[in-house]
Chain A
């Protein structure tokens, strides 16, 4: 993991002092609400339906055991003893007091954490692949590049008052697990024919009101030009992005208005003016960043005997086998694996953890995974470097702690925003819908038979629950003060990214489990051997689903 030096520490300390002074001035009536708004947002503080919400960055998803313990202590001291992992590798506190936020930020700073630019019209937390550095299909570890971007974007003086929020994601593997096609900028780290590292640059993806898949504006940007090129994109956006209507202010709208070709050309012209400026990365700088993300000291493991023992246990304890099949992921190093800690047990809001669970996760990380944990954009956690021989013990521990729900990647491993229970933007609740679905679909064999299905639920069209890119997406809408739910089919955030199509008129919350069951029945009836839900939907389209469901309703 990246470790702060004295420069980073000084900066974050000065940021806390600045925000403390801003909060004092606000409380003394010296800063009006409208002026305080961007100041608090750019430190992570929203004012929600019931209370303020503080969003804390977990840069590119890497968090240490020490940091988890500090977070646990903060939720106990300043909140109600729990926190929520989001779809953008952040963690949120739902009940902090505005007056106490400077103290929270100071405690976070002590463990090298912050909420800088986690909200507001600025460059947000850079996100990445939860399997960075450990997956077999990785071309280049994205994390050093994420850290370089994190530093560049932190307190960037030119881009703190953009037309709208701005999200950057980086993937370094063959399969995209960072959803780079639905970010304002998506970066694919790759190598060219001469084995030189560079970036494929996508711009203009995003969810929200006008969902869009990003378009490639540069096929191969040599790595050293990363920051000057990003600066050129941001400058073009800052100058020409729409500011008259917040719903048309994202970069995707500018890209569509200009076309990708015109946008790319404008960026190129701007970039050529900056090329080779001091912001160009040097070999030393890149090596310095890479040095923070070296492999831990893996032990040599007798894989064959380990595998035999695990097979034996799986045959004796079916539950272990199911858990291993679903929640354990292969690792680039023989004898090691990555293990999902599921945050989706039935009855708990997806992504929620208590203070004692945070501490327990820290314990597991220290015992089994070199003190580190990764946060996924599916709102689960991953222990990235677990020895195969530790799996039985880890399974027992995870089971006792409630993290062993063997449902990763299935229907009930859903993404879900906080929704109308917490969020003042939401049109409808989302957590109770998620829970009703988990209660209806509680037969693991049925879920395994359905295979990989992404179910994403958002409580409003701002799409924090990524409903457009769920294979099945559910969107809460408000009609004359009543909550309804629209269903979409066919979305994906993977390499084959696509946006879901609306099934038809929306439903009451109580109808959703039945509607889902009908959708799944049609899939099971119509699938051809080996087809996922998405494959079948792509082959037969939305019509058969629509005909059946609305005929039945009529």
Chain B
């Protein structure tokens, strides 16, 4: 089974990500539905433990702001690890819309981004998204990437006070 880095440890990833143009009926397994599918069908998608929503980098969390509190699983797609829009989307989801469930990075990210991703509010990362392959042994302990720095200047999701208020 594919692996997921969650809460700093590796767990099985039982979730599917349905394609952006998905239509039809949902699989039995837990899944992330694309945002547009959610917006069109949300009345019938009532089980937040098995149904999450994923956003692509060009989509706006503002579009489903009112629904966020009903959800427990969200994912943001990185079309390429060089495309940084997902960092802003994650902060909006956490800081502006106060989302407290699981926020997963999907698509293409690299291990050296884990620190920034987690600062922006992601707490789950697909290992295939990390280009490590489903079962590949990472070169270093993944938690080391998450703890790359012990000092940060800015306020962010995991540290509301900027360093200048903590000095």
A contact set with B: CB distance below 8 Å:
5, 7-8, 10-11, 14-15, 18, 21-22, 25, 30, 35, 38-39, 121, 148, 151-152, 154-162, 227, 235, 238-239, 243, 273, 277-279, 281-282, 285, 288
| B2: interface (CB < 8 Å) | no
| B70: interface (CB < 8 Å) | no
Secondary structure of the A contact surface, majority rule:
helix
Q: Name B151's contact: one of A11, A38, A238 (CB within 8 Å).
A: A11
Q: How far is the CA of A161 from the CA of B117 in the complex (A)?
A: 11
A151 to chain B, nearest CB (A): 4
Q: How far is the CA of A39 from the CA of B160 in the complex (A)?
A: 26
B:139-167 near A, CB below 8 Å: 139-140, 148-156, 160-165, 167
Q: How far is the CA of A224 from the CA of B162 in the complex (A)?
A: 14
A162 / chain B contacts, CB cutoff of 8 Å? 84
A41 to chain B, nearest CB (A): 11
Q: Name B165's contact: one of A22, A156, A158, A285 (CB within 8 Å).
A: A285
| B6: interface (CB < 8 Å) | no
Question: Is there contact, CB below 8 Å, between B163 and A161?
Answer: no
B160 / chain A contacts, CB cutoff of 8 Å? 278
Shortest Cβ distance from A241 into B: residue: B85
B112 / chain A contacts, CB cutoff of 8 Å? 18, 22, 35, 39
Contact flag A121-B164 (CB < 8 Å), given A39-B112, A279-B154? no
A152 / chain B contacts, CB cutoff of 8 Å? 153-154, 162
Contact flag A158-B162 (CB < 8 Å), given A11-B149, A152-B153, A278-B155? no
Among B87, B113, B131, B167, find the residue whose CB has the most chain A CB atoms closer than 10 A. B87
* A and B contact pairs by CB, cutoff 8 A, 21 listed: A7-B167, A121-B84, A151-B163, A155-B152, A157-B117, A158-B88, A158-B120, A159-B84, A159-B87, A161-B84, A161-B87, A161-B113, A238-B85, A243-B83, A273-B96, A278-B161, A278-B165, A279-B154, A279-B162, A282-B164, A282-B165
A8 / chain B contacts, CB cutoff of 8 Å? 151
Q: How far is the CA of A423 from the CA of B91 in the complex (A)?
A: 38
| B104: interface (CB < 8 Å) | no
Secondary structure of the B contact surface, majority rule:
loop
Q: Name A239's contact: one of B85, B117, B150, B151 (CB within 8 Å).
A: B85
Q: How far is the CA of A10 from the CA of B120 in the complex (A)?
A: 21
The count of residues in chain B whose C-beta lies closer than 8 Å to any C-beta of chain A is 37
B88 / chain A contacts, CB cutoff of 8 Å? 158, 235, 238-239
Q: How far is the CA of A281 from the CA of B155 in the complex (A)?
A: 12
Q: How far is the CA of A176 from the CA of B165 in the complex (A)?
A: 32
Question: Is there contact, CB below 8 Å, between A155 and B155?
Answer: no
Besides the contacts A158-B120, A279-B154, what 10 more A-B pairs have beta carbons closer than 8 Å?
A7-B163, A11-B149, A11-B151, A14-B148, A156-B153, A156-B154, A158-B84, A238-B88, A239-B89, A278-B161
The 8 closest A-B pairs by CB, nearest first: A161-B84, A157-B116, A157-B119, A11-B151, A151-B153, A285-B164, A158-B87, A10-B151
A304 to chain B, nearest CB (A): 46
Q: How far is the CA of A314 from the CA of B115 in the complex (A)?
A: 61
B82 / chain A contacts, CB cutoff of 8 Å? 38, 121, 161
B:80-138 near A, CB below 8 Å: 81-85, 87-89, 91, 96, 110, 112-113, 115-117, 119-120, 131
Question: Is there contact, CB below 8 Å, between A10 and B150?
Answer: yes
A121 / chain B contacts, CB cutoff of 8 Å? 82, 84
A278 / chain B contacts, CB cutoff of 8 Å? 155, 160-162, 165
A235 / chain B contacts, CB cutoff of 8 Å? 88, 91
B125 to chain A, nearest CB (A): 15
Q: How far is the CA of A285 from the CA of B163 in the complex (A)?
A: 10
B:32-51 near A, CB below 8 Å: none
Among B112, B140, B161, find the residue whose CB has the most chain A CB atoms closer than 10 A. B112
Question: Is there contact, CB below 8 Å, between A157 and B162?
Answer: no
Q: How far is the CA of A25 from the CA of B110 in the complex (A)?
A: 13
Contact flag A14-B84 (CB < 8 Å), given A22-B112, A25-B139, A282-B165? no
A159 / chain B contacts, CB cutoff of 8 Å? 84, 87
Among A14, A35, A277, find the residue whose CB has the most chain B CB atoms closer than 10 A. A35
Q: How far is the CA of A22 from the CA of B139 in the complex (A)?
A: 11
A118 to chain B, nearest CB (A): 17
Shortest Cβ distance from A235 into B: residue: B88
A178 to chain B, nearest CB (A): 23
A272 to chain B, nearest CB (A): 12
